[in-house]
Amino acid sequence: MRALCVWLLLSCCTAVNAAPYFVHCYDYGCKSTREIRYSAENWQQVRSIFEHDDRDAYREKQLIRQAVALMERISGAIAGTHQDKAGNYAGEDSAMQQDCIDESTNTFQYLVALEQLGLLKWHRVDTKQRRIVWFVAHWTATIREVGTGTRFAVDSWYRDNGEMPYLQPLEDWQRKLDFPAAYNPELAPGQALLQP
């Protein structure tokens, strides 16, 4: 089953410019999936986040956070997971709730789509990662900064659907350190990005 899921993820994201779709995971551990496709208008909304080329690695991280949040909102509206709550337990009575396996799998697909659309200049998508603390496993999607090779967790599990995921150097994420404010400024609608 896991091998099938990996194959589906890779095959769905290889055709972003043709007939793009995602295998949207939900219901804890990808127990349930739904194929979803974005409209041309949805893709234009995603592309518009990256319109300005005067970015550095820090700014691109913030654009990635915004794009993942937007893609969660679009996917949530299509798949019915728009009421997903942060963590596992706030929405545990809903089959539409997502755990870290669902969240990291979906985020990984969003990141691959951004990369394949040529929207990332300072980062590349890396493999999903797992940490185990006190026998509890937790998964995240990751990116790698091109210039430094530093890997970053892109963790949407801690946020409600459509909120910007947390970013953190993977090494710190593995040790379960607090998410640093420098990488995770909150944006009000229309607010400019903060610099570190």
pLDDT per position as a tens digit, 31-42: 888 899 999 999
Asked if residue 8 has pLDDT above 70, the reply is no
The number of folded domains in the chain is: 1
Tokens matching residue 48? 């518009």
Q: How far is CA 182 from the centre of its chain?
A: 19
> Is residue 71 assigned to a domain?
yes
> Is residue 122 situated within a structural domain?
yes
Question: Torsion angle, CA of 92/94/99/105, rounded to 10 degrees?
Answer: 180
Band of the pLDDT at 10, cuts 50, 70, 90? Answer: very low
Is 62 contained in some domain? yes
160: containing domain = 2-183
Average pLDDT value for the chain: 82
Amino acid type, 122: W
Distance CA 1, CA 147 (A): 36
Whether 196 is covered by a domain: the verdict is no
- Residue 3 confidence (pLDDT) above 70: no
Give kind and range of the element (H or E) at residue 68: helix 57-79
Mean pLDDT throughout 82-111? 78
Instruction: Tell me the pLDDT tens digit for each residue of 118-163.
Output: 999 999 999 999 988 777 789 999 999 999 999 999 999 999 888 9
Domain presence at residue 12: yes
Provide the b/e sequence for 77-109 (b: ≥16 CB within 10 Å). Answer: ebbebbebebbeeebeeeebbbbbbbbbbbbbb
Q: Does a structural domain hold residue 86?
A: yes
Residue 190 covered by a domain:
no
pLDDT at residue number 88:
61
Coil, strand or helix: which one is 125?
Answer: strand
Q: What is the pLDDT of residues 45-83, one digit of tens each?
A: 999 999 977 889 999 999 999 999 999 999 989 988 877
